[in-house]
A and B are shown apart, each in its own frame.
Chain A
Amino acid sequence: MTDTHKTIVVTGVGVVSPYGIGLDRLEAGMLSGTCCLERTKDDVYPGFEGTTAPVRGLPPQASSHRYSRTDQLAVMAAQDAMESSGRDSSAFREGGILMASTLGGLTEIDAGIAKDPAAWYRRSGGLSRAVSYPFAHVADSVGEHFGICGPRCAVSVACASGAMAIALAASMLLDGAAPMFLAGGSDPLCAFTLSGFNSLQALDPNPCCPFDQNRKGVNLGEGSAVLVLETLAGATARNANVLAVLRGWAMTNDAFHSTAPQKEGTGLADCIRLAMEMAEVSTDEIGYVNAHGTGTPLNDSAEANAYETAFRGRKRPIPVSSTKSYFGHCLGAAGALEAAITIMAARSGALLPTLRLTNPIESPGIDWLRGEVKRQPLPLVMSASSGFGGSNTVLIFESSLS
């Protein structure tokens, strides 16, 4: 029998992506195979030439001089999540907030701060721009904007941040820290990160090809996603619409290298095994894996090894795709956006293909999804995230209450 106090459910999903605001736009865009990656020249910084996926046409009312772009995206996604849950922000007053970001307010800072900080702060708006620099500000922005007073903090674990915020929020719900949580991630396009990934020679100048043998690197995108998480008991008491059940989650670390994943994908494989143990599901029951799939040579081969290990003994190859092929890698938001996509895939029974995947990595245990969207019931789905520093997070969702 289900323990409603120990069952974590998703009752709202908010998204700001290059497709626009809302999960419905994301769903329509992805199911139609629309790719948001575009050629960029001198856009984010002078001299940059490559491929990115920007969010365009943000509503002006969301702008505020105190908010960085990271904060703006987060506030809009949180608003969308609350609307999706059918409640206004007053219902969330006692709720908690765990928002992830790798950048925080770095969008507000420029290289001038390092040359002469005092002069930089004295320049018009320098001091108020710097207020959003600490990455905690992304959680504060959401909390202050909506008057939410529960436990509040930001999470930064490189590219696994968004998924980890969801996992931590779920653990805190079980601990009774708050009646509900807004959990997710937000990261914008920014000269700092584009330059950093460029310096590491990790960017594909063209639209990326995750899991392809000819993959050349990652594209960066921007966006934010926020989930409303609560216990089933809480959701039932309010007659809330349950969008999905978070059946299991796990967090591990490779303890291997600052930027490279462990070659055999052992850390991610362990994470998958732990999440399945928590969810009490077998390898055969998982219908789809939304992979981290950045498109870098090292990540994708390590990840393929992880799936081969974790799903060994499965009767049929595990269906896997990378939705970063649609709108790039949104860094601290990626894990949350992909959690939203995974829930959407499960609810609509859609196996989303990896775009531009023509010559997949040879992995007999993996069904690399490509070509058209396939339709089938997907009761249990998984989202996997990894990041610099070796962090891994796996989330398992169930599309309906069993």
Chain B
Amino acid sequence: MGPPELNQVPSRYETALRATGALALLLFATGCNRGVLNPIGPVAAQEKQILINSTAIMLAIIIPTMIATVAVAWWFRRSNSKASYRPDWEYSGAIEMVVWAIPALTIMLLGGIAWIGSHDLEPSKPLASKVAPLKVDVVSLDWKWLFIYPDQGVATVNQLVVPAGTPVSFRLTSATVWNSFFVPQMGTMIYTMPRMTTRLNLQADRPGTYNGLSSHFSGDGFPGMQFEVQALPPAQFATWAQGAHGQRTALDGRGFAELSKPSSYVRPMTYGAVAPGLFDAIVAGRAPQLHQPQAAPPARQASAVPPGG
């Protein structure tokens, strides 16, 4: 009875180990090709690169440190009679020099990365491109996103349509509390703040449909503030814009007041016309609003189905 069991113990462990390893690898593999790790434009790609470079630099320091911690703690355990005991060894100038130098040098290197990266990827800086940028004005509302295309004269709710390979120049504000505009696969997020304008420049090179969201908590309807980003080939974008123009719904003062009522999980919709200067009026606090305090739970759109449902 004894020996076979003894044989089985390591193999069972091995199987478990292998299974765990395989699972970890699988999870790791599926984990690496999504969100900010799967960039579709230049901004996100550079940011991912900085993320990976910085992590690698730091891992080169902390992995040896972790190994040394375990090794030293284990070797100098009390029961190890081979380890030498130096009860009075409490200072070494040379070691102090090294332990200050290691983190200092690492931080100098990373500080350089941070300085250059901050300037290269400053959100308000226009992207270098031969193509003229598309202008989009973004307004966060309770709890949905309004995208105004000033040059096309159209607007959308919870759906951002952009031409692939074209820089997009955003102006952003909020008609309610703070939110943060974020399309993980396009890169940089930025706050939308009432009575203030922030600027952001992004670009999607790969056509497709991507997720966008608010990444700053804004009240009870916050989780329903997801939106969809469609990156279309430029020709298709022009067709879309023309089609949108044909929509009969117009975003005038009354339409905006209606839209500003709290609602969540709002389905994408399109306005064929937008009152000129609406964005500036919102920033100036002059836009008409039927603003309701968030006392009541958010009204869900009658037709809206929770995402995934």
Do A and B truly interact? no
Q: Which B residues have a C-beta under 8 Å from some C-beta of A?
A: none
